[in-house]
Amino acid sequence: MKISGSITALVTPFKNGSVDESSLRSLVEWQIGSGTHGLLACGTTGESTTLSLSEHLRVIEIVADVADKRLPVIAGASSSNTMMSIKLAEHAQQVGVDAILVAAPAYNRPSQEGLYQHFMAINEAVELPMILYNIPHRSAVEMSIDTVIRLKTSCPKVIGVKDSTSSLSRASLERVSMPEDWIMLSGDDGTTLGYMAHGGNGSISGLANVIPGWWAKLQEACTVGDFGKALELYNMIDPLRRSLTLDGNPVGVKFALSRLGYIVDELRLPLVSASPKTREAIEKEMEKLGLIS
């Protein structure tokens, strides 16, 4: 399946301390029905670092089952422990997802050689296509362009990158350094429009949880080069995007989804629900867009 366009980085719904499987299924169906082009399960927005191993595996199983090959499903397989990443990747392969997303290990702060060997070990363990996740503000280490080139050269299964650096100059440098089939996905909603103009193929978005149809239309406009329409959509959406980020990801997104009736507004510590001021700001922007009354 083609991995491009609007890929929703799904939240993981919780209820009374457990994964809310019913709400997750409903959320996936709504996303697909709204025109989303792909789904990511157990990423940053999915609070993957707070999930137990069994919960992580179960969330991937549910999303793959509900999607049922109607659109690409990407499974998060990130860990600061390479062997755990391999275990997550092996399970993702067993349940039939289309690709895995693997971030640079957080906290360990590996060298570029360590990053290379980490991704190589995962690549050698499974046959699934791999998308590199470059998110230095969370992992405390950035994959250099040279490391990305080296990985692509050594590993044909490494097919692209989720870029959360917010650097548009890096996007251009990567585009001219990589083969034409290299998949470039924005991981930062605030710079996605610019990233697409610099050669991006789509985005993996937390915002898309709340407005899947509009975000898909924005990506579609970019894909056909209609950046005038994309800018018009972005200008309409951006005030909501900014309000959703006031207390961090996925705090605002979960509150917005609870107001839409899809999930309970529940997060896992150390994350807590949105402040009253943030809730008010989010509701104000949702009302402007006609999402709630």
Instruction: Walk along the chain (293 residues) in steps of 10 and give the mean pLDDT of each run.
Output: 94 98 98 98 97 98 98 97 97 98 93 96 96 88 92 94 90 89 96 95 98 98 97 97 97 98 98 98 98 95
Distance CA 31, CA 10 (A): 9
The per-residue pLDDT for 215 is 98
Fold of 5-224: TIM Barrel (3.20.20)
Q: Decide if 162 is catalytic.
A: yes
Q: Decide if 262 is catalytic.
A: no
Q: For 5-17, b where at least 16 C-beta lie within 10 A, e where not — what string?
A: bbbbbbbbbbeee
Q: What is the DSSP letter of 111?
A: -
The per-residue pLDDT for 60 is 98
Distance CA 279, CA 180 (A): 43
Two structure tokens written together for 99: 């690709």
Of the residues 69, 87, 116, 133, which is catalytic? 133
The per-residue pLDDT for 166 is 86
**From start to end of 45-166, where are the E strands?**
73-76, 99-103, 130-134, 158-163
Q: Give the Å distances, CA to CA, from 18 to 31, 50, 175, 194.
A: 22, 11, 42, 38
Of the residues 152, 162, 195, 254, which is catalytic? 162
**From start to end of 149-275, where are the E strands?**
158-163, 183-186, 202-205
Contacts of 111 (CB under 8 A, 6+ apart): none
Q: What SS3 state is found at 17?
A: coil
The per-residue pLDDT for 256 is 98
